[in-house]
Amino acid sequence: MKNLTRYLGLAAKLLVFLLVLGFALKNSHSVTFNSYLGYVWQAPLIVMLGLAFVLGALTGVLALLPTLFRLRRELGRKPQAVELDTVTQTTDMPVV
């Protein structure tokens, strides 16, 4: 069963790779990016889309960093809870 899920995962990754590769080959036309101050950059469409994806993912991660650091700081301040099952207390009562 473990090998089956491993092979299915590999097959899914291969399928996604082939879809992206086919998309890149179909859209290899050069596009122009016009920026401020007259800056112009020409590159294939797949490069522009890839950069847009990477910049969007990076922006999302950077937006989550303050929340992540705040939650880690709060977790570090809280005392560690001790599980009641692992704590044994000694008493003078006899065990029945």
- DSSP conformation letters of 55-66: HHHHHHHHHHHH
Mind listing the pLDDT tens digit for each residue in 45-80? 888 988 999 999 999 999 999 999 999 998 888 877
Domain positions in the chain: 29-78
Entry pTM: 0.60
Q: How far is CA 8 from the centre of its chain?
A: 21
Within 13 A of 89's CA, how many CA atoms are on the CB side?
A: 6
Two tokens at 96? 């029945």
- Can you list the alpha helix ranges (DSSP code H) found in the chain? 2-26, 45-77
Higher pLDDT, 3 or 1: 3
Task: Give the pLDDT score at 88.
Answer: 62
